[in-house]
A and B are shown apart, each in its own frame.
Chain A
Amino acid sequence: MNNKMKRIIGIDLGTTNSLSATVFDEGPEVIGTDGDFSVTPSVLSWTGSGWLVGQEARERRITNPENTVYSIKRLMGRSLDELSETVQDLPYQIVEAQRQLVKVRIGESKPYKEFTPQELSAEILKKVKQRAEEALGESVEKAVITVPAYFDDAQRQATRDACRIAGLEVARFINEPTAAAIAYGLDEKRDLQKDGHVVVYDLGGGTFDISILKLSGKIFKVVATHGNTQLGGDDFDQVVVETLKDRIHQEHPEAEFDDPESKHILKKTAEFIKIKLSFSPETDYSLDFSKKSMSFSGVFKLEEFESLIAPMIEQTLESCRHVLREANLSVKKIDEVVLVGGSTVIPAVRKQIESFFGRPPHVAIDPYKVVAIGAGIQGHLLAGGRRDFLLLDVIPLALGIETLGGTFSKIITGNTTIPIEESETFTTNVDNQTSIDVNIFQGERELIKDCRALGQFKLRGIPPMKAGLPLVEVMFRVDANGILTVSAIEKRSGKKAEIEVIPFHGLTQFEIERIMEDSFEHAVDDFNERQLIEFRQTAERVFRGIEQCWDVAENDLSETSRDEIQKQMDVVRQSMKGQDSQALKTQLDVLGDLTRPLADNSMGRSILSELQDDANLNQ
């Protein structure tokens, strides 16, 4: 990378996991410090004065259930109405805020702490940014951020606000499946056809996307996209949770599970079962509700799990049919199928995709990493590192206005390549009318009640004229990020009509600034305290990791190495009791160096071992 060029990293801001990637001299790769795992779980935990983010937060799910928050991405740009089902399943509290916004409420009684999803998402971004900076040894200011292809304008705007709060400049938003296609398509080692139609099937923790791309030369053109921003691994967990509840009820009819601790335990066990069943035909599980002094164990069979998730897989196939129709293609015309997202590891999902498309899908690049890597490559392009490929993406859903009592009139149709500009002319209904209200919606249905309200414009400053005479041209612009902006001009007078956009789900500039100020104050106050908690937890995790592979270590490590490790563990234990976060960090780093040969990088195994771990703790 040349000196003048400022690096633009790629960030996959996931429902469950977030990670960053960039292009190194050796090629594109996930950013992560040696020995430490590079994924940041998208989980936050409130310490009373600040947030813990990532692995440390994830570990507090059971010990600190009411303060631990996950799956924030599902809340982005959504109103409480739209979230009613999701909200019931979540262990943390969600309350309605002004302008159809939602907030996460922390605390049992007043004074509560309340946070917008944008703020919380910003905390995750800050963490990812900070980890990337540590690993790269340089500051990071700009990033390509991935979003689900089926995110609507409100969800994209919310993500943009999160980036602003995190102090990250968004170089570009790109769609997750498209990012994956880039990572595959530009990987020389892979035998993906260079010309043809590629389907990307992306089933992650919270969202499902399906995109069809046409590859020709080095142009990646998205032909059509479809999806569901509320369908993913979380929902698979939830059906297992429901089954577990039913089973427990048979033995303990009076049991209730509405408290945060129970919800977390159930969710965690469900995910454990789900992941186990990706590798074996049945699995044991045990639940220990310590606060209720109740425990329960049993066996979960693959068959049962598969029948539970079958309707959801069918829903994704329905999207596949839809997108093929939109693209005007038959299954036979599809040359390659690429699977992305943790939930595509599930054998039933793979089987169904294979039989639907009549060919085995590509899964070779780690499905957890591929989106981030694609974003990293795109960042490299934007930074000027290469210019030999081009991504042409689309807007997923039509944009338009309410024309009259409840009907939706499209101005930009869905699956149109971006950037795009379209205009529509409005006029007045009454003599001397000087303003017009326009409601903007997004969706694919005929009636606005079935579409998403994005906001309202007020066109002001129209010169007074007879009704029907003014011609106000309203311009809808969707930029290369897929984000809409609007401007207007009165054509007879050439006067720019003023436009005031009132977003229904977004934050105002003022709100963003206030949040940034608040979080800055917090940051200064709690820095040491938070670091101390983080490092102590890291230490405990490292200890558990060491214990787990100590047997293996007997063969791998020399007698002296093992002694050194034992001694250093004592030093760390001593440091953990103190109040100096930096001292603890230094000792931990030494321990990290000593145990490097033990580190294991495979994510699937690491999730498993950690969950296994929690399961053991519960017993």
Chain B
Amino acid sequence: MTFEQPACQKCESTLISHLFCLSCNAFQTVPPEIDYFEVLGFPVCFEINSEDLEERYKSLSLVLHPDFFAAAPEEEKRLSEKASAMLNTAYNSFRGTTSRAGYLLSLFSKGKNLNERTLPDGFLQEMFFLQESLDELLESSDSSALNKMNEDLRTRHKEIESYYAPLFKNFKDLPEDSDILQQLQTHLNAERYLRRLLDRIPATD
């Protein structure tokens, strides 16, 4: 996939985000299937520096947000609300490592017939067992054992999240290799189970 620099529909200067031209302050007409990379103006790539993401989100918000169009004609108000909503969705999706990986995988796997339900061997049994152990721990209110479990799960969760970047890199070199995408899918599925477990553990301070 290549990254094309699009031009403003009004003044033809190069666009960063496909939503809005920062040179002439014009909203762009965008197709409904516009992707999050186009919204934020980043090349299609898994690794996005979080500071760059923050910066981009801020600078776009500072021009798109409905607060700056309160006195504008209805049509422009509506466009700004729509564009802001898209920006928020894209930003939220890219902020989380897993959600960004999931989004990118969904772009890459279009028309590729991946099995969306794969899990590592024996994983389901283990998850069921962990869920039951968690039931017991929560009931016994044994806080040190609970903390231990919390930490273990977190470590595993981090580990899973560390697999995405190298796999996406491999895929860049071997774009025909669907097996890489299948591996990613498996990790994403496993991540969801771990997150479910983590969500059940109450906050401690």
Closest chain A CB from B33 CB (angstroms)? 13
Does any Cβ of B come within 8 Å of A383's Cβ? yes
Are A321 and B203 in contact, with the CB atoms below 8 A?
A: yes
Residues of B within 8 A of A418 (CB): 88
- The answer to whether B81 touches A479, judged by C-beta atoms less than 8 angstroms apart, is yes
Cross-chain contact A325 with B203 (CB below 8 angstroms) = yes
Residues of A within 8 Å of B85, CB to CB, are 419-421, 477
Could you say which residues of chain B place their CB within 8 Å of the CB of A172? 67, 70
Contact yes or no, A390 B61, CB < 8 A: yes
Q: Is A382 an interface residue (CB 8 A)?
A: yes
B114 to chain A, nearest CB (A): 21
Q: Quick one: closest A residue to B58, CB to CB? A: A219
Task: Check if B174 is an interface residue, CB within 8 A of chain A.
Answer: no
Q: Mark B127-140, 1 if CB is under 8 A from A, else 0.
A: 00000000000000
**Contact, CB under 8 Å: B205 / A384:** no
B70–A383 CB distance below 8 A: yes
Q: Does A313 contact B (CB under 8 A)?
A: no
- B79-94 CB mask vs A (1 if < 8 Å, else 0) is 0011011101101100
Hey, which chain A residues are within 8 Å of B65, CB to CB? 390, 392, 480
List of A residues within 8 angstroms of B84 by Cβ: 419, 480
Residue B102 interfacial (CB < 8 Å): no
State A169–B92 Cα separation when bound (angstroms).
32
Does B71 count as interface, using CB distance less than 8 angstroms?
yes
The answer to whether A331 touches B67 (Cβ under 8 A) is no
Return B65 CB to nearest CB of chain A, in Å.
Answer: 6
**Once the chains bind, are A171 and B70 in contact (CB under 8 Å)?**
yes
Interface residue tally of chain B, by bracket? 20 to 34
A217 to B66, CA, bound (A): 19
**Contact (A420, B89) CB under 8 Å given A219-B61, A390-B62:** yes
Q: Answer whether residue A351 sits at the interface, using C-beta atoms and an 8 A cutoff.
A: no
Find chain A residues with CB under 8 A from B62 CB.
Answer: 219, 390
Q: Is the beta-carbon distance between B67 and A480 smaller than 8 angstroms? A: yes
A419 x B88 contact (CB < 8 A)? yes
- Name B68-83 residues within 8 Å CB distance of A: 68, 70-71, 81-82
Cα separation A480 to B65 with both chains bound (whole Å): 9
Give the chain B neighbours of A416 by CB distance below 8 A: 88, 92
Majority secondary structure of chain B interface residues (helix, strand, loop or mixed): helix
Q: Given A219-B62, A324-B205, A479-B81, does the pair A420, B68 have CB atoms closer than 8 Å?
A: no
Interface string of B14-28 (1 = CB under 8 A from A): 000000000000000
Complex Cα distance, B69 from A382, in Å, reads 8
Q: How far, in angstroms, from A432 to B137 measured CA to CA in the complex?
A: 51
CA distance A272 to B156 in the complex (A): 56
Report yes or no: A384 in contact with B71, Cβ–Cβ below 8 A. yes
Please, which residues of chain A bring their CB within 8 A of the CB of B67? 172, 378, 381-382, 390-391, 480
B82, A421: Cβ atoms closer than 8 Å: yes
Mask, A374-410, CB within 8 Å of B = 1, is 0000100111100100111000000000000000000
Write the nearest CB–CB distance from A265 to chain B, whole angstroms.
Answer: 42
**A420 adjacent to B88 (CB under 8 Å):** yes
The number of inter-chain residue pairs (CB within 8 angstroms) is: 64
State in angstroms the CA–CA spacing of A559 and B85 once bound together.
67
Q: Is A331 in contact with B70, judged by CB distance below 8 angstroms?
A: no
A residues near B92, Cβ cutoff 8 Å: 416-417
Counting CB contacts under 8 A, is A164 at the interface?
Answer: no
A502 to chain B, nearest CB (A): 25
Those of B103-118 within 8 Å (CB) of chain A: none
Q: How far is the CA of A171 from the CA of B68 in the complex (A)?
A: 12
Q: How far is the CA of A417 from the CA of B71 in the complex (A)?
A: 22
- Please indicate which of the listed interface residues B67, B81, B89, B92 has the most CB atoms of chain A within 10 Å of its own CB: B67
A330 at the interface (CB under 8 A from B): yes
B89 touches A421 (CB 8 A): yes
Is A573's CB within 8 Å of the partner chain B?
no
Cα separation A242 to B159 with both chains bound (whole Å): 56
Alpha-carbon gap, A422 to B89, bound state (A) = 9
Q: Cβ of A322 and Cβ of B81 under 8 Å apart?
A: no
Partner of A392, one of B61, B70, B86: B61
Residues of chain B within 8 A of A216, CB atoms compared = 54, 58
Question: In the complex, what's the smallest C-beta–C-beta distance from A308 to chain B, in angstroms?
Answer: 25
Q: How far is the CB of A37 from chain B (nearest CB, A)?
A: 31
Within the assembled complex, what's the spacing in Å between the Cα atoms of A103 and B54? 47
Could you say which residues of chain B place their CB within 8 Å of the CB of A324? 203, 205
Q: Among B70, B84, B89, find the residue whose CB has the most chain A CB atoms closer than 10 A.
A: B70
Convert B152-167 into 0s and 1s, putting 1 for each residue whose CB lies closer than 8 angstroms to a CB of A: 0000000000000000
In the assembled complex, how far is the CB of residue A378 from the closest CB belonging to chain B, in whole angstroms?
8
Residues on A with C-beta less than 8 A from B66 are 419, 479-480
A residues near B81, Cβ cutoff 8 Å: 419, 477, 479-480
Q: Do A387 and B205 touch across chains, with their CB atoms under 8 A apart?
A: no
In the bound complex, CA of A291 to CA of B170 (Å): 86
A6 nearest in chain B by CB position: B71
Q: Which residues of B contact A417 (CB under 8 A)?
A: 88, 91-92
Q: Write the nearest CB–CB distance from B81 to chain A, whole angstroms.
A: 5
Asked whether, in the complex, the Cβ of A330 is within 8 Å of the Cβ of B70, the reply is no
A382 touches B88 (CB 8 A): no
CA A416 to CA B54, docked complex, whole Å: 16
Q: Do A322 and B203 have beta carbons less than 8 Å apart? A: yes
A324 to B204, CA, bound (A): 10
A216 to B53 alpha-carbon distance, docked (Å): 14
Indicate with 1 or 0, residue by residue over A473-506, a CB within 8 angstroms of chain B CB atoms.
0000101100000000000000000000000000
Q: Given A321-B203, A416-B92, A421-B89, are A382 and B70 also a contact pair (CB < 8 Å)?
A: yes
Are A321 and B205 CB-contacts (below 8 A) given A219-B58, A390-B61, A417-B88? yes
- Contact in complex: B205, A331 (CB < 8 Å): yes
When chains A and B are docked, how far (Å) is the Cα of A8 from the Cα of B67? 13
User: Which residues from chain B contact A219 at a C-beta distance below 8 Å?
Assistant: 58, 61-62
> In whole angstroms, what is the CA distance A321 to B203 when docked?
7
CB-CB under 8 A from B82, the residues of chain A are 421
A168 to chain B minimum Cβ distance, whole angstroms, is 15
Residues in B with CB closer than 8 Å to A8 are 70
A214 to B, closest residue via Cβ: B54
Nearest A residue to B68, CB-CB: A387
In the bound complex, CA of A542 to CA of B205 (Å): 53
Q: How far is the CA of A298 from the CA of B6 in the complex (A)?
A: 78
Q: Which residues on the A side are within 8 Å of B205 (C-beta)?
A: 321, 324, 330-331
Residue of A nearest to B65 (CB): A390
Residues of A within 8 A of B91 (CB): 417
Can you list, as one digit per residue, whether each of A326-359 has a CB less than 8 Å from chain B (1) or not (0)?
0000110000000000000000000000000000
CB B198 to nearest CB in A, in angstroms, measures 11
List A400-451 residues whose CB lies under 8 Å from chain B: 416-422
Instruction: Report the minimal beta-carbon distance from A234 to chain B, rounded to whole angstroms.
Output: 28
Task: Decide if A217 touches B58 in the complex (CB within 8 Å).
Answer: yes
Q: Write the residues of chain B forming the contact surface with A, with a CB cutoff of 8 angstroms.
A: 54, 58, 61-62, 65-68, 70-71, 81-82, 84-86, 88-89, 91-92, 203, 205
Q: Can you spell out 11 A-B residue pairs with CB atoms less than 8 angstroms apart? A: A216-B58, A321-B203, A324-B203, A383-B71, A384-B70, A390-B65, A390-B67, A417-B88, A419-B84, A421-B86, A480-B66
Q: A216-B54, A384-B71 are in contact. List 19 more A-B contacts (CB 8 A).
A: A8-B70, A172-B67, A217-B58, A219-B61, A321-B203, A321-B205, A322-B203, A382-B70, A390-B61, A390-B67, A392-B61, A416-B92, A417-B88, A418-B88, A420-B88, A421-B82, A477-B81, A480-B67, A480-B81
